Structure 1
């Protein structure tokens, strides 16, 4: 009997050793940005699970194994979406599914990214000190509303893809003390609401180690406070997988901070679904990974495996960007132009029949 038990234990250990890495240690964050979901639903968006059954998109994501959502916040957008109103409603739904919440503050009325960090119209005439107070007040107001309804944010981005700073020109990192003052105002607001909430500083170009060293060296020199380093990594824009791996490993060990890919994605088709040209149209946007459901799943799994392998357990996980942004008429990219379309629907986690794609299940079990 003892020999049989020993043999069984050895076989079990061998089976565990032979399992893929993601079967041994799941990522802490298996997430999706679903910022466009509220508007999609308002304009008739439908979501189905892998078997074709219609349901709540957040429930479908959670049942597939995802455990985090990310939602952006604009200050006063032209279409009234991506504000505190939608955030509160989606946060309640997500928390009811057992999911955690990351809030992504753009500090703008529209998209903020490396090429544009425009102030909200209401903040245009403010001095630097007044702008810092506006950042604090806006951040506190949104996060305190979440706390008061019992859906406290678990992570918060103070700024979105802030390679060149935020709230230009005042917060441009051509003047690092100004950048620091604004970012620390956001940090202080987050921590006043909840000391347990993690503050993320987020850059794009996840394969550019020179950028990350320059940025976070200056952040340290100027006393910018944060808990997590966030990266965008789109393989068709941001360098090779090897460059991404080298960078994420380096920044985690160099700064001793956890790292998370807060934006990534990959197409599952080259076809268009809404008559608006897709942003990524190549049949093989990254070598070895075709724009197919299988290629999408494989590429996202590879990114997840790279994050899992970050030294010292500092790789937290990843978020697929705009997983629910399907080709729904009226849910376009420009909040000021109702006729605009969506160039991203071929990178969602739902196909053109509104059904969950294989990548969803892969991501949920990374």
Structure 2
């Protein structure tokens, strides 16, 4: 226990120094070394455990903090079938994160399940709403969750209005071919952030981090429609989203074009090609990207490469990197489909904890970016 106490003092100090007084402004000046831990509450409820490399078990939020992570990210669904990633669980995890001195990014999907470029399904409770009702629902839901976070002493430092909205959100009303309506829906969400978390940055987020034409099309459209935003988020999965040089070109361009800080708010890479739960991995190649094998070293090196791209964005506008999904390990019942307890997790080989529940070396890499 004495060794752990010394470790805590040694590695926690830099993170706490970054936080300063704990205000949103001071918290946002440092490079974000972030981890999405949206799966954590369900994992813990189903028996998931998290350990240091020597087998010492600890609260995973403190493992992240002591490793140098300074942000966590949490997604919000409206009424998910399994009861997780809802307001109650997001508040509980965010409160723990703030108690550990971590900044919080809240990611609103405006759905009961996954929202991404291929699907942006309305929450069931909103399915019969006209557009005016839908716009109000976006505001009210955003305000409700942020108000609960504030009441718990866990007001976030940044808020995403929509998740991977390349195709818009809340289909069909806010689909990509209804840009005026999409802009109004996003403005409703941003207005709720301004009202309930006035110190927080509003982020808009797209997938395909190397696709400059998509980013220009979307952000030109939102800017021309007066949607307020303070930060730009990109998903970049190197085995899907093009070369690192393409990511660099896009981030450089959009940071300059819109004058906003840019984040790679989702990235990941496998530490093994092996399977941990009997459910096929999303990425199972032994070398998903040339030069970066699916090993613990390859995972760390890819993270360094992505971070180097972000840090090279001119004028200090490369603001941070978030790992997705750091704590989504192979825990039975914590699978892809919130409506199906038997569904598996195809992502466990890209977590920052291995099949023995121990940290991978990439967590230290993330914490020292």
TM-score under structure 2 length normalisation: 0.91
2:267 aligned to 260, 264, 267, which one?
264
| Cα distance in 2 for residues equivalent to 1:191 and 1:223 | 15
| Cα distance in 1 for residues equivalent to 2:251 and 2:30 | 15
Residue correspondences, number: 341
Partner of 2:140: 137
1:239: Cα distance to partner?
0.3
| Cα distance in 1 for residues equivalent to 2:154 and 2:108 | 17
Say if 1:77 and 1:335, in contact at 8 Å, map to a contact too.
yes
Partner of 1:332: 335
Partner of 2:164: 161
Matching of residues 74-85 of structure 1 within 5 Å: 74-85=77-88
Q: Secondary structure at the match of 1:328?
A: coil
1:89: Cα distance to partner?
0.8
1:49: Cα distance to partner?
1.3
| Cα distance in 2 for residues equivalent to 1:236 and 1:148 | 41
Q: Does 1:203 align with 2:206?
A: yes
| Cα distance in 2 for residues equivalent to 1:82 and 1:199 | 20
| Cα distance in 1 for residues equivalent to 2:53 and 2:72 | 19
| Cα distance in 1 for residues equivalent to 2:309 and 2:255 | 13
Partner of 2:10: none
Q: Does 1:235 align with 2:238?
A: yes
Partner of 1:146: 149
Q: Does 1:107 align with 2:123?
A: no
| Cα distance in 2 for residues equivalent to 1:293 and 1:197 | 35
Partner of 1:64: 67
- For residues 135-159 of structure 1, the C-alpha deviation after alignment (integer angstroms, 9 at most, x for no partner) is 0000000001101111101100000
| Cα distance in 2 for residues equivalent to 1:145 and 1:220 | 30
1:50: Cα distance to partner?
2.5
| Cα distance in 2 for residues equivalent to 1:354 and 1:245 | 34
Say if 1:27 and 1:308, in contact at 8 Å, map to a contact too.
no
Matching of residues 270-281 of structure 1 within 5 Å: 270-281=273-284
2:360 aligned to 347, 357, 362, which one?
357
| Cα distance in 2 for residues equivalent to 1:365 and 1:50 | 17
Q: Does 1:305 align with 2:342?
A: no
Partner of 2:38: 35
Q: Does 1:172 align with 2:166?
A: no
| Cα distance in 2 for residues equivalent to 1:146 and 1:51 | 35
1:176: Cα distance to partner?
1.1
Give 1 or 2 for the bigger CA radius of gyration: 1
| Cα distance in 2 for residues equivalent to 1:288 and 1:184 | 42
1:173: Cα distance to partner?
2.4
Matching of residues 274-293 of structure 1 within 5 Å: 274-293=277-296
| Cα distance in 2 for residues equivalent to 1:301 and 1:316 | 15
1:321 aligned to 320, 324, 332, which one?
324
TM-score under structure 1 length normalisation: 0.92
Say if 1:113 and 1:161, in contact at 8 Å, map to a contact too.
yes
Partner of 1:183: 186
Partner of 1:342: 345
Greater relative CO (CA pairs within 8 A, separation 6+): 1
- For residues 283-336 of structure 1, the C-alpha deviation after alignment (integer angstroms, 9 at most, x for no partner) is 110111000000000000111111111111001101100100000001011001
Q: Unmatched 5+ residue regions in structure 1? A: 1-25
Q: Secondary structure at the match of 1:163?
A: helix
Say if 1:40 and 1:325, in contact at 8 Å, map to a contact too.
yes
| Cα distance in 2 for residues equivalent to 1:150 and 1:81 | 20
Q: Does 1:94 align with 2:103?
A: no
| Cα distance in 2 for residues equivalent to 1:178 and 1:262 | 25
| Cα distance in 1 for residues equivalent to 2:321 and 2:311 | 10
